[in-house]
Structure 1
Amino acid sequence: MRTLLLILCMLTTRLASTQTQNKMKLNAGIITEKLTETKQFYTAVLDFGVSFENDFYLLMHTPNKSAEISFLKPNHPSQKPIFQSPFNGKGMYLTIEVKDVDKVYKKLKNKEVPIEIEIRDEPWGDRHFAIVDPNGIGIDIITYTKPEE
């Protein structure tokens, strides 16, 4: 019995170690001159918090700290060429899934945040609306619902 417990303990430790090694976290980054405007928007409009900030980099997190997004000044001497060019405001969007999209919609309307796409239901099962951040990034705020039959 003692040997069996020892083997189970070793297998559990190995499995936990393998799961930790395979864990992956994504942090999207946008290169922009508008760090101040971006910080103001994400904190005031979406209730994000600041994880880290310096004169050329801003790392922000969702209210529950489950996801992060970063912003970097273009052409900063500390960065390699691949991280120099600013985002041009096209070809990117973010999706933020929330528990109650109607509540968030009402809150943003009360704050007089411009709504790019009014709240609506989609036949594939999304209830959502969209806003745009200071960098021109569309933000789709969504609650997933059952698709129409």
Structure 2
Amino acid sequence: MKRLTTVILIAISTVTAGYAQKNVQSQNQSQMKLNAGIITEKIQETKQFYTENLGFGVTFENEFYLLMHTPGHQAQLSFLLPDHPSQQPLFKSRFQGEGVYLTIEVDNVDELYAKMKERGVEIKIDIRDEPWGDRHFAIEDPNGVGIDLVKYTRPAN
């Protein structure tokens, strides 16, 4: 009986210590979500492009702001009108169409490539396999943002 009590106490101590350690870790690690934003006058064109070609949904929209989400709601992307009076100066300047890209990982890059071609979306980089393992192609949104559509695979070597 004494041995059974000892085993039970050790088990309870182990579970309690594990819970305490997990609780301390969660208190020390804050959670973050990322929502990249682009300041553009082309909000309606952008909405149409992302919904029709990439299956994005609209999370929130008003006259100067559009928040979109990927299928499955795993990521968000927002668009804001430039020079809007509700925004501080830091968020008023329009994107100039260079120096930004998005990478979107997809399950079937070949199928998506075929759909983009059927829809007449201009392909900026034809589908290809890279030595490091990516299979991808690239398009461009109405704002000049390059979009790399990729299926990650293991490198051949």
TM-score, normalised to structure 1, is 0.90
Give the Cα–Cα distance (whole angstroms) in 2 for the partners of residues 122 and 37 of structure 1.
32
Extract structure 1 runs of 4+ deviating beyond 3 A.
Answer: 1-10
2:135 aligns with 127
SS at match of 2:54: coil
Deviation, structure 1 residue 94: 0.4
2:75 aligns with 67
1:18 aligns with 27
Instruction: Give the superposed CA RMSD.
Output: 2.0
TM-score, normalised to structure 2, is 0.86
Q: Which runs of 5+ in 2 are unaligned?
A: 1-7
Which of the pair has more CA radius of gyration?
2
2:16 aligns with 7
Aligned length: 148
Deviation sequence 1:86-132 (CA, Å, 0-9, x none): 00000010000011110111111111211111101111111100000
1:104 aligns with 112
More helix by share: 2
Q: Residue 125 of structure 2 is aligned with which of 93, 117, 121?
A: 117
SS at match of 1:108: helix
Report the AA paired with residue 136 of structure 2: H
Report the AA paired with residue 39 of structure 2: I
Q: Does 1:33 align with 2:63?
A: no
Q: Cα 1:133–1:9, aligned 2, differ >3 Å: closer, same or farther?
A: same
Identity percentage over the alignment?
A: 59
